[in-house]
Structure 1
Amino acid sequence: MKAAPEAQKRLLELAELDAVLDRLAHRRRTLPELAEIDERAAKLARLATEVIAAETRLGDLSREQAKAESDVDAVRVRADRDQKRLDSGQVSSPKDLANLQSEIASLNRRQADLEDVVLEIMERREAAEADAARLTAERAEITAGLSTLEDKRDAALADLDKESGEAKGRRGGITDGIPADLLALYEKLRGQYGVGAAMLHGGRCQGCKVSLSIADLNRIRAAAHDEVLRCEECRRILVRTPESGL
């Protein structure tokens, strides 16, 4: 392949600019906010499940407490009714009187037991309410932090996109001065090796950092000034400059 030396030197400008674009792309992929956002989002998802579970427990306890309180009320009503019968003097038979007194005592014990159950449920409900409140507050805190991180991420991405856009604009100006076949070879090598062209500087390829042999340097010296050369080690386009050491 043949190309004017000036066109070949433009490959070095292009390679330098592509290196800038690669660094910008790497920074875009590795923004610290991205990992933090993923971590917080995962924690937020776990918290959402925990909040639902806590609210479900609280709902179950509320229903359990309501039922226990209803049972207490039912026993209390029955005991009050029997006590009124007893106090009214309507029961005259000693046997019926003894049975009524026994039933009232039994109901009072049942009421006391049920009231203990209500207190125990209320304690569990209080703990469940505190747990749900804690989880809800933690979720709100993480959500706020996540929003802040997303704002930082968006601002950083906007800056990187601006830099990348400007670099791509300059790239277009550089590629306009490179023959299509030379540019196609450069792009192919860039896709294979990450860098498509490198300077020969002081007898060393700046792409692979390998010093060329005397035979290779002699071959390069003998080559036409417009011949497109390749490094024998890394196969990148080797661009000659006054600093090549030839």
Structure 2
Amino acid sequence: MKADPQAQRRLLDLQAIDIALTQLAHKRKALPEHAELDKLARELSTMEDRRVRAQVAVDDLDRDIDRLERDAEQVRARKQKDQVRLDAGTGPARELEALQHEIGTLNRRQSELEDAELELMEQRETAQAALDEILTALQTRRATREEAERRRDEALVAIAKDEEFRRSGRRPLAADLPVDLVTLYDKIRESSGGIGAAMLRQGRCEGCRLELSGGDRARVKAAAADDVVRCEECRRILVRTAESGL
């Protein structure tokens, strides 16, 4: 293939833009915020599980406290009813004695229920404190996530603007070069790690960083200025300039 020497040298400008675009794509994937957000997502998931368990513990205690309160209210109501009958003093002595015995039993039962309720209320206070602590930590983590998302989005916008700037410069440059030269360059670039053309500097290919052998150097030196020559090692287009050392 042949191409004007100036067009070949402009391949280096095209290559510089493509390298910048590749670096921007890598920068997008490697943003530290991605890793930070992944970590925060795992932490938030774990904390949410803890929140659910803590909320269930509080709800269970509330349910048990309500049950004890209902039971105690029933005991109080029954005791009050028995006390009214006892105070009236009507009926056989044996029945009044039975009422006194039942009131004593109800007093003990009421005391047991109130003690159990008090113990559960203390447990609920502890459980609520644990839940509040988790909720506070969740709020803090969510705020941290929002801040990380904001930084990520700002970085992505900046990268997108930079990419568009580079592409806007690439389009006219590529359009101004011979189609077959650009096609070859793109084909090599896709199969060679993003590098399709490299400068020959002081006898060394800057694509694979290897020095040309004596025979390859002689071959390149003998080639016409408009010949498109390629590195024998990496097969990239070798762009000759005044720094080639030929």
Kept in 2: contact 1:85–1:91 (CA 8 A): no
- Partner of 1:200, secondary structure, is strand
Kept in 2: contact 1:186–1:197 (CA 8 A): yes
Residue deviations 1:136-195 (CA, integer Å, cap 9, x gap): 222221222211111111111111111111111111132122211111111111111121
Cα distance in structure 1, aligned partners of 2:237 and 2:45: 51
Q: Which residue of 1 aligns with 2:217?
A: 217
Size of the aligned set, in residue pairs, is 245
* Partner AA of 1:150 in structure 2: E
| Pairing 1:52-71 to 2, within 5 Å after superposition | 52-71=52-71
- Residue 241 of structure 1 and its aligned partner are, at CA, apart by 0.9
* Partner AA of 1:221 in structure 2: K
| Pairing 1:86-235 to 2, within 5 Å after superposition | 86-93=86-93, 95-193=94-192, 194-235=194-235
Residue deviations 1:1-51 (CA, integer Å, cap 9, x gap): 111111111111111111111111111111111211222223223333332
Kept in 1: contact 2:4–2:226 (CA 8 A): yes
- Residue 126 of structure 1 and its aligned partner are, at CA, apart by 1.3
* Partner AA of 2:97 in structure 1: A
Residue deviations 1:99-145 (CA, integer Å, cap 9, x gap): 22221111111111111111122122212221222222222212222
Q: Which residue of 2 aligns with 1:51?
A: 51
- Residue 205 of structure 1 and its aligned partner are, at CA, apart by 0.4
- Partner of 1:208, secondary structure, is coil
- Partner of 1:68, secondary structure, is helix
Kept in 2: contact 1:21–1:164 (CA 8 A): yes
Q: Which residue of 1 aligns with 2:237?
A: 237
Tell me which stretches of 4 or more aligned residues in structure 1 moved more than 6 Å: none
Residue deviations 1:74-122 (CA, integer Å, cap 9, x gap): 11111222223223222442x3333222211111111111111111221
- Partner of 2:200, secondary structure, is strand
Cα distance in structure 2, aligned partners of 1:13 and 1:202: 19
Q: Output the TM-score relative to the length of structure 1.
A: 0.94
Cα distance in structure 2, aligned partners of 1:82 and 1:88: 10
How big is the alpha-carbon RMSD for the aligned residues of Structure 1 and Structure 2? 1.5
Q: Output the TM-score relative to the length of structure 2.
A: 0.94
Residue deviations 1:213-239 (CA, integer Å, cap 9, x gap): 111111111112111111111111111
Gaps of 5+ in 2: none
- Partner of 1:239, secondary structure, is strand
Gaps of 5+ in 1: none
203-212 vs 75-84, greater mean Cα deviation: 75-84
Kept in 1: contact 2:89–2:96 (CA 8 A): no
Kept in 2: contact 1:175–1:183 (CA 8 A): yes
Residue deviations 1:40-68 (CA, integer Å, cap 9, x gap): 22322333333233323322222221110
Kept in 2: contact 1:9–1:239 (CA 8 A): yes
Cα distance in structure 2, aligned partners of 1:81 and 1:218: 119
Kept in 2: contact 1:4–1:226 (CA 8 A): yes
Equivalent pairs: percent with the same residue? 45
- Partner of 1:16, secondary structure, is helix
- Partner of 2:176, secondary structure, is coil
